[in-house]
Structure 1
Amino acid sequence: MSVHTSTASPKGRKYEDVLGGAREIFLRDGFEGASVDDIARAAGVSKATLYSYFSDKRELFREVTRVECERMAETTLARIDFNAPPREVFTTAAHSLTRFLLSNFSLQMFRTCVAEAARFPELGQAFYQNGPEMGRARMVVYLKLAIERGQLHDVDPDMIAEQFSELCRARLWSRAIFGVQTSFSEVEIDEVANHAVETVLARFAV
């Protein structure tokens, strides 16, 4: 059963090179510190080529965020059988989400959006729409199916999705975002993900 449609639109190798260069520089220097010159250099293209795809740095930042979050979502959805029991679906989703939340990309983009929130609120809005909001919407598709099948209680699926996401942030994410801990073992990640699954099943599973 198809539950999503990729929004990616292939535009050629140079376009991908620009995104790759921008990703590298944004992660290294943040939004304000990233220069178009550095992005073009990292991408191996001219500034004219870069501007032929993107009108400004903000548009480029939004596209890098969209593509990366879309890639994570597609990878996760490819692993999920939406006809499987809730435990199996939640377990796959929890492990994927927890790892993504702790990834260097996710952490750096979050820090950048918070740092620039006052001057460029659209950056945070773009990250939210392409990350948490997109993930929530896709989880809701599954939750509605599970509720219809009588596998989950008939509770607001949006709320279930929001709470599930927050459970995957327990313990490790706050340590990561504040730099208290910079690396995490598989055991630590599995513990958070498994507790998220058990908690949501205890509350919502029939």
Structure 2
Amino acid sequence: MSKQTGKLAISDPGPAGRFAAGEDPAKREQIIDGAKAVFMKLGFDAASMNDITREAGVSKGTIYVYFQNKEHLFTAMVARERERITTRMRDILEGSEEVEDGLYHFGVGFAAHITSPQVINAMRTVIGVADRMPSLCRHFFNSPSVNVRTVLDDFIRRHVALGNLKAEDTDLAARQFIDMTSGTFFKFRLFGDIDDVPPREELDHVVRGAIRVFMAAYGAHDTSVNAKTVEHA
């Protein structure tokens, strides 16, 4: 109960421990889980709200309380998955004191994620409906204010402040590193040249190469000693 307005906060359970209609986070997650299973199995076009209600174990009335339509539900699913990988990448970087160590674990983790079957299937789904559903593409490709790139940007800024890196445009540096570590893998997976997630040895090889290029461009000093961190990661 708000002391200022005397109204119940939207996200708070009511007196009986129940949430207002459309505000139960567990129910929302349950619906998104069901939608994810259906979208991954059938694709966006073939999936129906009826399919999703059955998979999620909720009524049609309930699903429409939480989501306006299938496009809204797909967008929510993508946003949730993006938030999860962003949180994971942030945790990796916040726990890394050495530049090369953080870049290595970030690069391998993100490349594995962006080439996963779930991400590739979602991307192909969006591309397949781009002409007749441009709003879906805008929602999918327009990242929120906090995303994987901004998390890496924050990491680079931190090490610039510490004197470990020199970069005038840290956002550019972050985009370049992401492209070097995952761009080629992602394109090959998206267009079917690679049938599965690249093996760890290949990811390792590419990420280590990307770190050498990155540090040659942005390293503030000789990193030959610190590079041992990467070799033993």
- Does the CA contact (< 8 Å) of 1:82 and 1:142 recur in 2? no
Match of 1:153 in 2: 166
TM-score with structure 2 setting the length: 0.77
- Structure with the bigger percentage of helix: 1
Q: Please state how far the C-alpha of 1:111 moved relative to its aligned partner.
A: 1.1
Q: How has the CA–CA distance of structure 1 residues 131 and 180 changed in structure 2, closer, same or farther, with 3 Å as cutoff?
A: farther
- Does the CA contact (< 8 Å) of 2:35 and 2:73 recur in 1? yes
1:119 equivalent among 124, 129, 132:
132
- What is the rounded CA distance, in whole Å, between the counterparts of 1:177 and 1:158 in structure 2? 25
- What is the rounded CA distance, in whole Å, between the counterparts of 1:144 and 1:49 in structure 2? 45
Match of 2:14 in 1: none
- Structure 1: 4+ residue segments shifted above 4 A: none
- What is the rounded CA distance, in whole Å, between the counterparts of 1:132 and 1:124 in structure 2? 17
TM-score with structure 1 setting the length: 0.87
1:100 equivalent among 113, 119, 133:
113
Structure 2: gaps of 5 or more residues: 1-10, 12-22, 221-233
1:137 equivalent among 150, 156, 160:
150
1:169 equivalent among 157, 174, 182:
182
- What is the rounded CA distance, in whole Å, between the counterparts of 1:11 and 1:167 in structure 2? 41
2:206 equivalent among 177, 192, 205:
192
- What is the rounded CA distance, in whole Å, between the counterparts of 1:122 and 1:89 in structure 2? 35
Supply the AA of the counterpart residue of 1:197.
I
- Count of residue pairs brought into register by the alignment: 198
Q: With CA pairs under 8 Å and 6+ residues apart, which has the higher RCO, 1 or 2? A: 1
Supply the AA of the counterpart residue of 1:29.
L
- What is the rounded CA distance, in whole Å, between the counterparts of 2:136 and 2:206 in structure 1? 29
Q: Could you tell which deviates more after superposition, 121-130 or 9-18?
A: 9-18
Match of 1:61 in 2: 74
- 1:15 is the counterpart of 2:28: yes
Percent sequence identity over matched residues?
Answer: 26
CA RMSD of aligned residues (A): 2.1
Supply the AA of the counterpart residue of 1:113.
V
Supply the AA of the counterpart residue of 1:32.
D
Supply the AA of the counterpart residue of 2:115.
L
- 1:72 is the counterpart of 2:85: yes
Match of 1:36 in 2: 49
Is the radius of gyration larger for structure 1 or structure 2?
2
1:36-92 per-residue CA deviation (whole Å, 9 max, x = no partner) reads: 111111111111111110011111111100111111111222222366121111111
Match of 2:7 in 1: none
